[in-house]
Chain A
Amino acid sequence: MATVDLKDVKKVYPSGVEAVKGVSIAIPDKELCVLVGPSGCGKSTLLRMIAGLETISAGTVAIDGKVVNAIGPTERDIAMVFQNYALYPHMKVYDNMAYGLRNRGTPKDEIDSRVRSTAKVLELSALLDRRPRELSGGQRQRVAMGRAIVRNPKVFLFDEPLSNLDAKLRGQMRVEIKNLQRTLGVTSVYVTHDQLEAMTLADILVVMNAGLVEQTGAPLDVYEKPASIFVASFIGAPPMNLLALTGSSSGPMLADGTAIGFAARETPAVTLGFRPEDADVTFNAEALPGALVLPATVEAVEPVGAESFLHCVAAGSRIIVRVSGRATAKPGDQLRVVAKAEKLHWFDQAGKRVD
């Protein structure tokens, strides 16, 4: 149906604030691209520029190969699901969904059949005569989705659509959005600050920070090979454990002087990281060649059910280790955290990944 291409897109506000500092993303047809990042990273601004709600200061946005910089939101044939849903409060659900079709002069009977079939897909058929204020949060969310879907637009935009729902509903809707997007095959851009949503929904994951793209790629590639310390600490919950290194004649060692026990790489890495699930704990004192071994003190244990998180202090830093099932360690225990060498991530002075 449509591709979306961003080329060196920038947004500078009249106040001089540079919200987006040159972003290039190519979204192939039918794929779902998730923009993820902390608040203020420019992801929503970028989405609004694709929508046509913000002017583009520099660069180009192209939909289906056609540059749309000068085309207003009315003519871009894009639908958006807003964070607060933005349902028209004075219109019934039916009219909310029919509004966009009416504005485009669709024949009445076609509007009716499209609204009703979309309502059926989203299980809204019984609610068509209600007004938005008579709906629950989840139902409003569905209506907002329905309003976008019914128009059959070239591109869907989602601006943190699930952030107003409770955790359980959010999980359900996440799966539903993914299924719908796949069934309808509409190119989509989804903005969120929730890395779990980002990981589960994305075909292409774009991690943004301070107006720039930190990394673009398939979610698992980003997870397994974070391009920077920022990505490593943002993607994944709990975040990656990071330890500072200092160089010495006998090779790198941890900031408190603990030798890391094996040769590090030749490139000058200054930070070392490992995921909570890539480490384990042991009470034994045997030598473990080819692994990072850190003496640690347990500070807290968080049992989640299927797994437990051990919050430890090692080499002066706080680290989290995931152990499956019930943890045997208790707060105050002295133990050793072990991470396999091949599961370690290395980052240089600038915070970039070193391989």
Chain B
Amino acid sequence: MAPQLAITLVFFYWPAGQALYQSMLRQDPFGLRTRFVWFANFRKVLADPAYLNSIQVTVVFSLATAIVAMVVALLLAVMAEKAVRGKGLYRTLLIWPYAVAPAIAGMLWLFLFNPSIGSLAYVLRSLGIAWDPLLNGTHAMILLVSAAAWKQISYNFLFFVAGLQAVPKTLIEAAAMDGAGETKRFWTIVFPLLAPTTFFLLVVNTVYALFDTFGIVHAVTGGGPGKATETLVYKVYNDGFVNLILGDSAAQSVILMAIVIALTAIQFRYVERKVHYG
């Protein structure tokens, strides 16, 4: 048997099978008896207002993170292209944040914006903004999105810089001679030609925000205040390892697995095939 297949079996199919099995079990409060309940856990989870709230939080968080990270990265990449001197230094500095671990990035933002000791929180308050991510759910979400997006900007920046460099210079020159000013050239020529990069990053960023931000959520808000920033992944952890409702938690993981499979299918169907020029 091919070793790759063996590894996939041991590290993917086996745990996935266990999760699927686990999601159909239910324990009594003392953990003395386990019953097989078929899809009762799924019915319970999907009817739970806390879970529906978590879906909403996740959608808002993921979209906001992906959009902020991509818009800022594109802006920085366009500026990096225009830089006459120090292009290399500028790029290196912008790539560094990618090397920072998510939990560390979260701590960094947490300290900067901590209502009592954060230096930037102080600045915000002195500007007349009642900054309070510990009690205000919206503020907590803004902080979380900022931290998550900040980390992803480097990655997006790299791809956008590469994408911009792949746009042939003669096209820009042709557009200039065709009477298009700089802004017009960007929106009618450069941006459409970046579409393959943009779509790729949209998928990558969404997947990142959905599944790779546990460390940031855990460090910055812990899902709070209340359940205002409890994403689906964080809820799996919370229900499983904190509240020890293993059946519910497993059912949620299975749902997440289905989402990942769907996203991958979308990536293969549309992104890889349709968004190409040449």
Contacts and interface: CB of A to CB of B under 8 A. Distances in A.
Interface in B170-213: 170-171, 173-181, 184, 188-189, 192-193, 195
Contact of A99 (B180, B195, B277, B278): B180
Interface residues of B, number: 20
B180 A103 contact: yes
B183 to A, nearest CB: 12
A223 interface: no
Contacts of B277: 89-90, 133
B174 A72 contact: no
B86 interface: no
Interface of B: 168, 170-171, 173-181, 184, 188-189, 192-193, 195, 277-278
A88 interface: yes
Interface in A58-100: 72-76, 78-80, 82, 84, 86, 88-90, 99-100
Contacts of B176: 52-53, 72-74
A89 B277 CA distance: 6
B171 A88 contact: yes
Contacts of B195: 90
Contacts, number: 63
Contacts of B188: 99
Contacts of A89: 171, 193, 277-278
Contacts of B170: 82, 84, 86
A103 B183 CA distance: 12
A80 B177 contact: yes
A100 B193 contact: no
A86 B171 contact: yes
Contact of B173 (A53, A100, A104): A53
Nearest to A157: B177
B193 A73 contact: no
B171 to A, nearest CB: 5
Given A89-B171, A90-B277, 7 more contacts: A80-B177, A84-B168, A86-B173, A88-B171, A90-B193, A90-B195, A103-B184
B193 to A, nearest CB: 6
A104 B178 CA distance: 8
A99 B175 contact: yes
Contacts of B189: 88
A74 B177 contact: yes
B178 A99 contact: yes
Interface residues of A, number: 24
28 contacts: A51-B173, A51-B177, A52-B176, A53-B176, A72-B176, A73-B176, A73-B177, A74-B176, A74-B177, A74-B180, A74-B181, A82-B170, A82-B173, A86-B168, A86-B170, A86-B171, A86-B174, A88-B171, A88-B175, A88-B189, A89-B193, A90-B192, A99-B188, A100-B179, A103-B178, A133-B277, A147-B174, A151-B178
Nearest to B174: A86
A103 B177 contact: no
Q: Which 7 A-B pairs have the closest CB atoms?
A: A100-B178, A103-B179, A86-B170, A86-B174, A89-B277, A73-B176, A90-B192
Most buried by B among A75, A86, A151: A86
A1 B19 CA distance: 78
Contacts of A103: 178-180, 184
A78 B177 contact: yes
Interface in A127-148: 133, 147
Contacts of A53: 173, 176-177
A268 to B, nearest CB: 49
A253 to B, nearest CB: 54
A156 to B, nearest CB: 11
Interface in A327-350: none
B278 A133 contact: yes
Interface string A199-230: 00000000000000000000000000000000
A270 B179 CA distance: 53
